[in-house]
């Protein structure tokens, strides 16, 4: 029997994942220092490529000290080309991360331009690439940038959604670099939780453990959670041109989906027939009927949180006419109806019931009383009831009653976006 072939698991060496970090030019480049620290703390190695503009904001010496690797800055280094080469530099990596990815870098990537070390590496690599944009709000919203983003996604590049907030230029809106913790979470997800592999490898304590952060923490309370939301009406066909429906604009459900995504959640939005843009960072599933919505909801499980906002039609035609029902000078035959499934109640009984299940109730009178009855009947955890006797349907404002098993609270008339943000904050506190 040969010796040395059987190695105890604790003694096996697991090669750490390697990240190639490309740092573009912009004020957000300072956050790369914290990202390097987090990458190393997770047990991964990191090598940095610093663009000429990036070097205006962070020094090669800082990056080299944190990464404990040489920092590459130019394509025209004889030493680097002899020892490694720009192609090998990218191909040895398990993931290429561009952080921050400026509008200029994104444009060059989309156009296939290779005029410096960073862009040449990106054009020469077959490794997965993740871009983390950071730029002025107007630059981010410009049609050219959005066109470039769409092209990069079509090319297989992973593009993180930037944060929204106050910028160094004083403007407010989307375009801020996500906090390093959020970027690291995406890297870890792509690398399959490499920190666990490092622990199993017996490599020991990471020397960066316990070091202070270089950037303040920004809590994203729903990160790692899957939130399932329904919104809009359902249309139950009678014939090819007529249907049964409840009135619903879908705006409140879409606003909640947007707020949940902003809080870091993975969001699946099952939407009835509405003409609303899909919120950023949200996976949308379009349906028409209650039966289609029920199937889409079940297909989206498991989810930690489910918020059933949709105004699902209670009934559907027992049979659908294949042709338009014509007027014949008299009332048509009575329409036979059959009850639609109760999606909320069914989800409450489901084997994969979300830990927090929230239903919505549109009421015209005795709002709290009816909501409390619905809470008990449906088997959910919360009911969000709104008085739709006014102009709520299709409007931009809402007033809601939050009914839970422990009590109730009333939110007076607020913009639907604000209702959504408050609801997501309350959910975050509940599951914390």
State mean pLDDT over 315-336: 83
d(C-alpha 108, C-alpha 12), whole Å: 42
**Do 242 and 186 share a domain, yes or no?**
no
The model's confidence at residue 218, banded by pLDDT at 50, 70 and 90, is: very low
Average pLDDT, the chain: 84
> With 80 as the cut, is the pLDDT of residue 389 above it?
no
**Strands 407-415 and 397-404: what pairing?**
antiparallel
Residue 365 belongs to a domain:
yes
The reply to whether 118 and 262 lie within a common domain is no
Looking at residue 195, its pLDDT comes to 38
In whole angstroms, what is the distance from residue 292 CA to residue 288 CA?
7
Question: For the sheet containing 407-415, what is the strand order?
Answer: 282-286, 266-271, 226-231, 305-308, 356-363, 382-387, 397-404, 407-415
Q: Answer whether 245's CB lies under 8 Å from 272's CB.
A: no
Q: What is the mean pLDDT of residues 158-168?
A: 81
407-431 per-position pLDDT tens digit: 889 998 888 889 999 999 999 999 8
Active site residues: 169
**Whether residue 256 is found in the same domain as residue 292:** yes
Is residue 379 over pLDDT 90? yes
Structural domain contains residue 164 = yes
Q: Provide the sign of the torsion angle of the four alpha carbons 226, 375, 295, 285, taken in this order.
A: negative
pLDDT, one tens digit per residue, over 304-313 is 999 999 999 9
Which position has the higher pLDDT, 200 or 330?
A: 330
> Which of 168, 201, 234 is at the close of a domain?
201
Taking 80 as the threshold, does the pLDDT of residue 88 lie above it? no
251 with 133, same domain?
no
Q: Which of 79-88, 242-251, 291-300, 367-376 has the highest mean pLDDT?
A: 291-300
Using the 3D structure, point to which of 144, 167, 201 is the last residue of a domain: 201
Q: Which residues of 251-278 are buried (b: 16+ CB within 10 A; e: fewer)?
A: bbbbbbbbbbbbbbbbbbbbbbbbebee
This prediction's pTM? 0.52
Same domain (yes/no): 193, 236? no
pLDDT for res 73: 87
Nearest to 293 by CA among 273, 278, 266: 273
Residue 288 burial (10 A CB sphere; 0-12, 13-18, 19+): middle
Do 117 and 258 have their domain in common? no
Backbone phi and psi for residue 230, each to the nearest 5 degrees, phi listed first: -110, 150
- Residue 210 pLDDT > 70, yes or no? no
Q: Do 58 and 181 belong together in one domain? A: yes
Q: Is pLDDT above 50 for 11? A: no
Query: How much is the average pLDDT of 318-345?
Result: 86
Domain contains 358: yes
pLDDT at res. 125:
87
* Best mean pLDDT range from 20-34, 124-138, 292-306, 325-339: 292-306
Return the pLDDT at 217. Answer: 37
Q: Does residue 301 register a pLDDT over 70?
A: yes
pLDDT at 330 over 90: no
Q: Are residues 82 and 169 in the same domain?
A: yes
Q: Which of 23-37, 165-179, 202-216, 379-393 has the highest mean pLDDT?
A: 23-37
Q: Which residues contact 292 (CB under 8 A, 6 or more apart)?
A: 234
Q: What is the mean pLDDT of residues 29-34?
A: 92
CATH number at residue 40: 3.40.50.1950
**Same domain? 41 vs 128:** yes
Residue 14: the pLDDT is 53
Higher pLDDT among residues 206 and 360, named by residue:
360
- CA distances to 19, 46, 68, 81, 204 from 199, rounded to whole Å, are 18, 18, 20, 35, 7
* Residue ending a domain, choose from 201, 236, 262: 201
Q: Is 161 exposed, middle or buried (0-12, 13-18, 19+ CB in 10 A)?
A: middle
Q: In this structure, are 105 and 155 located in the same domain?
A: yes
- 155 and 243: one domain? no
Confidence of residue 151 (pLDDT cuts 50, 70, 90): very high
Lowest-confidence pick of 73-77, 103-107, 240-244, 387-391 = 387-391
Question: Tell me, what's the pLDDT at 304?
Answer: 96
What is the predicted pLDDT for the residue at 394? 56
Percent of the chain with pLDDT over 70: 85
Can you give the pLDDT at residue 268? 96
pLDDT at 127 over 90: no
Hey, which residues does 357 pair with through a beta bridge? 306
Regarding whether 234 and 349 lie in a shared domain, the answer is yes
Q: How many folded domains does the chain comprise?
A: 2
Residue 284 belongs to what domain range? 226-315+336-431
């Amino acid at each position: 029997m040969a010796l040395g072939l059987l190695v105890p698991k604790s003694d096996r060496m697991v090669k750490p994942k390697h990240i190639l970090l490309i740092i573009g030019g912009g004020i957000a480049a300072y956050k790369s220092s914290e990202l390097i620290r987090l990458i190393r703390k997770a047990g991964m190695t990191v090598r940095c490529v610093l663009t000429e503009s990036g070097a205006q904001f962070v020094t090669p010496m800082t990056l080299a000290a944190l990464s404990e690797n040489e920092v590459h800055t130019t394509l025209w280094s004889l030493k680097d080309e002899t020892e490694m080469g720009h192609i090998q530099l990218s191909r040895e990596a398990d993931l290429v991360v561009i952080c921050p990815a400026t509008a200029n870098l994104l444009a060059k990537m989309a156009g296939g331009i290779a005029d410096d070390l960073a862009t040449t590496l990106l054009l020469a690599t077959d490794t997965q690439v993740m871009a983390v944009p950071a730029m002025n709000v107007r630059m981010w919203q410009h049609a050219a940038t959005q066109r470039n983003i769409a092209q990069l996604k079509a090319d297989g590049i992973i593009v993180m959604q930037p944060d929204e907030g106050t910028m160094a230029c004083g403007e407010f809106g989307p375009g801020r670099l996500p906090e390093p913790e959020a970027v690291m979470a995406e890297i870890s997800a792509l690398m399959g939780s490499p920190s666990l592999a490092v622990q199993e490898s017996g490599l020991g304590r990471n020397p960066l453990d316990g070091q202070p952060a270089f950037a303040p923490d920004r809590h994203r309370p729903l990160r790692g959670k899957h939130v399932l939301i329904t919104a809009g009406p359902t249309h139950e066909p009678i014939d090819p041109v007529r249907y049964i429906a409840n009135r619903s604009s879908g705006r409140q459900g879409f606003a909640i989906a947007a707020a949940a995504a902003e809080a870091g959640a993975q969001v699946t939005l099952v939407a009835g027939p509405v003409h609303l843009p899909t919120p950023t960072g949200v996976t949308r599933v379009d349906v028409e009927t209650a039966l289609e919505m029920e199937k889409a909801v079940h297909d989206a499980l498991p989810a930690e949180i489910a918020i059933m906002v949709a105004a699902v039609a209670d009934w559907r035609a027992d049979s659908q006419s294949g042709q338009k029902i014509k007027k014949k000078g008299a009332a048509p035959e009575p329409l036979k109806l059959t009850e639609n499934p109760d999606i909320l109640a069914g989800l409450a009984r489901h084997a994969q019931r979300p830990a927090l299940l929230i239903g919505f109730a549109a009421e015209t009178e005795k709002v709290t009383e009816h909501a409390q009855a619905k809470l008990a009947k449906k088997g959910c955890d919360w009911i969000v009831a709104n008085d739709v006797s006014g102009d709520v349907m299709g409007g931009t404002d809402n007033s809601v009653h939050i009914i839970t098993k422990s009590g109730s609270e009333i939110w007076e008339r607020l913009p639907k976006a604000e209702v959504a943000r408050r609801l997501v904050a309350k959910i975050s506190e509940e599951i914390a």
